[in-house]
């Protein structure tokens, strides 16, 4: 599981009445490690307790901490945004 040094606190998922992509902000180092490109769309699954989202890229699975209790157990699509700050 990744810590806050690699993942920005900004993880948003779509609002039910406004279908849109969530945004996953990663440090450039973490994005390269996962072979993710800016604006790439990835699919994730929110854990049953809503405490993390699991993404799969190539043959790497990654769990990212998040507060997503309202999305427990759901599949979400996330757009990669490189956090430059």
**Residue 59 belongs to domain spanning:** 7-82
Domain membership flag for residue 46: yes
Does the residue 12 lie in any domain? Answer: yes
Position 53 in a domain: yes
Q: Give me the pLDDT at residue 79, please.
A: 81
Answer yes or no: are the C-beta atoms of 66 and 78 closer than 8 Å.
no
Tell whether the model's pLDDT for residue 2 goes beyond 70: no
- pLDDT at position 40 is 85
Domain count, the chain: 1
Question: How does pLDDT run across 27-85, given as a tens digit for each residue?
Answer: 788 788 888 888 888 888 889 998 998 988 777 788 888 888 888 888 888 888 877 65
Q: How many residues does the chain have?
A: 85
Q: How many Cα atoms within 13 Å fall on the side-chain side of residue 8? A: 17
Distance in angstroms (rounded) separating the CA atoms of residues 8 and 82: 9
* Distance in angstroms (rounded) separating the CA atoms of residues 17 and 59: 33
Enumerate helices (H) and strands (E) in the chain, giving the number of each.
Answer: 1, 6
Which of 12-16, 24-28, 48-52 is least confident? 12-16
């Amino acid at each position: 599981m990744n810590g806050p040094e690699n993942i920005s606190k900004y993880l948003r998922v779509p609002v039910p009445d406004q279908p849109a992509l969530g945004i996953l902000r990663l440090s450039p180092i973490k994005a390269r490690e996962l072979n993710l490109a800016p604006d790439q769309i990835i699919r994730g699954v929110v854990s049953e307790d809503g405490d993390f989202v699991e993404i799969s890229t190539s043959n790497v699975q990654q769990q990212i901490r998040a507060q997503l209790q309202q999305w427990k157990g759901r599949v979400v699509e996330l757009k990669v945004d490189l956090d430059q700050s």
